[in-house]
């Protein structure tokens, strides 16, 4: 029955193209976000993926946005996050030239960066800060690559300059994929090694039902000008969120803020406390 689901995916992609081409020019921001969320949830259902969300978007006053950071496992990550809340992702400029996908990414607000040009990074940093100040959530995957989900790689710190410059928070998310029946981790969605997009899609469609777990973390407010410290703090929180240790993640965020600001901190609870 895999071919039926592939047919449904093609039709769903066409529907997305038509929505972006015909409706988006006439819709406001909130209406576009509604369509993006609905389209992403339908995509997950066609792929046989359940969505489990733990936590809510923290409030921090005002109408300003945040930099959303997450571990990176699969091309599905974007649509899992969109199913929770549409986010303007930062992506390499090469994606813009991809057939169909590049056009869809552009129409849904993706910010493109030419990674080979150092000067372009400064432009993107200004763009990220500007759209966050306007209230948007901007999403990045600071590991810089996908993994099998068993660990979280060190976070690159370059784009952390945007929330520091804008005085804006970082919102960590933890992503994991498990077998829906057993709760054990599954490698089916992992887009790693020499796998092509089609290979990865086939693995997802042939696998037993999958559950995507998305954990929403506490906000991290920059308390210094160190991008590396902010990246390290964000990674620590993401690691705990991915493991389902939400209280530990919250305690780590508080401890990191106190350490960065010079305030005395209390020991963080362990996952067993």
Structural domains counted in the chain: 1
Confirm whether 170 is domain-assigned. Answer: yes
Would you say residue 43 lies in a domain?
no
DSSP 3-state of 158? helix
Looking at residue 254, its pLDDT comes to: 86
The closest of 72, 263, 82 to 175, measured between CA atoms, is 72
Candidates 202, 134, 193, 198; CA nearest to 166 is: 134
- Structural domain contains residue 245: yes
Q: What is the structure's pLDDT at 167?
A: 92
Packed helices 246-261 and 227-242: angle between N→C axes, nearest 10 degrees: 170
Check residue 166 and give its pLDDT.
92
Position 5 in a domain: no
Domain that holds residue 70: 50-261
Indicate whether 101 belongs to any domain: yes
In this prediction, residue 261 carries a pLDDT of 58
pLDDT at res. 272:
38
Answer whether 44's CB lies under 8 Å from 80's CB: yes
Q: Is residue 271 part of a domain?
A: no
Are the beta carbons of 235 and 253 closer than 8 angstroms?
no
CATH, residue 196: 3.40.1010.10
| 166 φ/ψ angles, rounded to the nearest 5 degrees | -90, -5
Cβ contact 236:267 at 8 Å: no
3-state secondary structure 61-108: CCCCCEEEEECCCCCCHHHHHHHHCCCEEEEEHHHHHCCCHHHHHHHC
- Residue 112 resides in a domain: yes
Ranges under pLDDT 70 in the chain = 60-63, 116, 260-273
Cα gap 120→262, rounded to integer Å:
34
CA dist 55 and 216 (Å) reads 5
Q: Which of 73, 58, 59, 79 is nearest to 217 (CA)?
A: 58
Report the C-alpha gap between 100 and 42 in whole angstroms: 18
Amino acid 200: pLDDT: 94
Q: How far apart are the first and last CA of the chain?
A: 46
The Cβ of residue 170 has, within 10 Å, a number of other Cβ atoms equal to: 26
State residue 273's pLDDT score: 38
The confidence score (pLDDT) of residue 270 equals: 45
Q: Distance (Å, rounded) from C-alpha 32 to C-alpha 13?
A: 16
The reported pLDDT for the residue numbered 122 is 83
User: Does some domain include residue 40?
Assistant: no
């Amino acid at each position: 029955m895999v071919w039926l689901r592939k047919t449904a995916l093609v039709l769903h992609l066409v529907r997305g193209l038509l929505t972006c081409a015909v409706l988006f020019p006439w819709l406001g921001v909130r209406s576009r976000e509604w369509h993006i969320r609905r389209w992403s949830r339908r995509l997950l259902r066609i792929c046989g993926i359940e969505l489990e969300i733990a936590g809510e978007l923290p409030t921090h006053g005002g109408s300003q946005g945040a930099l959303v950071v997450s571990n990176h496992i699969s091309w599905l990550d974007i649509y899992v996050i969109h199913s929770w809340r549409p986010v303007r992702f930062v992506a390499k400029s090469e994606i813009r030239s991809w057939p169909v996908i590049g056009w869809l990414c552009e129409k849904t607000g993706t910010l493109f960066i030419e990674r080979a040009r150092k000067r372009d990074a400064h432009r993107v940093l200004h763009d990220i800060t500007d759209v966050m100040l306007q209230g948007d959530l901007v999403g990045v995957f600071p590991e810089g690559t996908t993994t099998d989900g068993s660990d979280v790689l060190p976070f690159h710190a370059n784009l952390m300059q945007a929330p520091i410059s804008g005085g804006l928070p970082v919102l960590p998310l933890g992503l994991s994929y498990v077998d829906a029946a057993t709760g054990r981790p599954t490698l089916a969605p992992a887009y790693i090694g020499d796998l092509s997009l089609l290979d990865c899609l086939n693995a997802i469609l042939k696998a037993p039902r999958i559950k995507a777990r998305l954990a929403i973390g506490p906000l991290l407010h920059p308390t210094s000008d160190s991008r590396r410290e902010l990246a390290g703090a964000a990674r620590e929180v993401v690691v705990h969120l991915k493991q389902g240790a939400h209280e530990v993640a919250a305690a780590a965020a508080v401890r990191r803020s106190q350490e960065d600001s010079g305030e005395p901190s209390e020991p963080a609870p362990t996952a067993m406390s």
